[in-house]
Chains A and B, each alone.
Chain A
C-alpha cells in the first residue's frame, strides 16, 4: 500500500515543480566574472566615428555568414544570427557506443542558432575613443528537436578572432577598400 502513495507523491511534486520555476539568484547580479567577461568582450578603438565601427562590424558579420536581424545606429546596436550544423563527431561516436551497449537511442546535437550583438559606445575619457563590445550566444537542438544547449559563449579565442577581423575591417573601411 505504501508504494503507490509514494509514487503518487512523487508524481504530484513533479507536477507542482512544472508549475513553479524560479530565477537563479545570480542571474541579474554583477560579479567578478562579469568584469572579466566585459574585458574579454570589449576592445577600444582610437576613433570617435561610431558609424565607421558599425559599418566595419556589419562587414565582418557578413564575412562570417551572419544575417543582420536588427540595427540601431543612434545607440550603436547590432544583432545578427546564423543557423548552422551542430553535429560533432565525438558526440555521435559516444552515442553509437552507448546505443550498442545499452540499446537505448541517444539523441545528438544537430542544429544550432548562433547569436551575436555588437554594441558601440563612445568613451568620455577625453581621448576620443570608442568601445566595441560583442557578445556571442547559442541555442543547440538535438536530433529529436529538443533544446540541448542554451549558453553564452565565453571562449577567449572566439572574441580574439572576432576583434582581429574587426580591426582589419575598420582599417579597410577607413581606406575605403
Chain B
C-alpha cells in the first residue's frame, strides 16, 4: 500500500514537471503570445515629430518608475533600463518615426527570467509616458 502511494506521489510530481520545458534552448526563439498581439500591447503612437523629446520623456518615465537607465542611443532610438526592487525588471523602449507626424514607441519587459506578456503593465507604462509627453498614446493597428 505504501508503495502505490509513493508511485502515485511520484506520478503527481511528474505531472507537475510536465508544465516545465523539455529543451531550454527552445527559449531562444520562444514567445507565448502571437507576434501581432505582442506588438499591439507593447506599441503606441504619439502625435509628435520630435524623436529626441520623445526619448527624453521615455527616459524620465523610466526614472519615475525606479529604473536605472543603462543604455540610450539617439540614432536607433533605443533606451534600456533595469529596476531592482527584490526583483529584476529589465525594459527596452524604442522610438521610431512613422511618417512625418508620428512616433511609434514600443516597450518590452522582462521580469526576472520571464517575459512580460500581460497587457496591463504596458498600459501602466504608457499611461505614465503620456503624462511625461503631455500627449495621448494611441493604439497602433
Contacts and interface: CB of A to CB of B under 8 A. Distances in A.
Interface in B1-33: 1-2, 5-6, 8-10, 12-13, 15-17, 19-21
B59 A75 contact: yes
Contact of B8 (A5, A13, A135): A5
Place the interface of chain B in its size category. Answer: 35 or more
Contact of A133 (B16, B63, B81, B84): B63
A60 B127 CA distance: 34
Contacts of A74: 52, 74
Contacts of A119: 59-60, 63, 69
Please indicate which of the listed interface residues B71, B84, B122 has the most CB atoms of chain A within 10 Å of its own CB. B84
Nearest to A15: B16
Contact of A75 (B2, B8, B74, B81): B74
Contact of B89 (A23, A25, A139): A23
Contacts of B122: 28
Contacts, number: 152
Specify the main secondary structure of chain B where it touches its partner: mixed
Specify the main secondary structure of chain A where it touches its partner: mixed
A63 B109 CA distance: 34
Interface of A: 1, 4-5, 7-9, 11-13, 15-16, 18-25, 27-30, 34, 37-38, 41, 69-70, 72, 74-77, 79, 115-117, 119, 121, 133, 135-139, 150-152
24 contacts: A4-B6, A4-B9, A11-B9, A11-B12, A23-B118, A27-B85, A28-B124, A29-B65, A30-B128, A34-B64, A37-B66, A38-B63, A69-B70, A72-B71, A75-B72, A79-B71, A116-B68, A119-B69, A133-B63, A137-B68, A138-B84, A150-B85, A150-B87, A151-B86
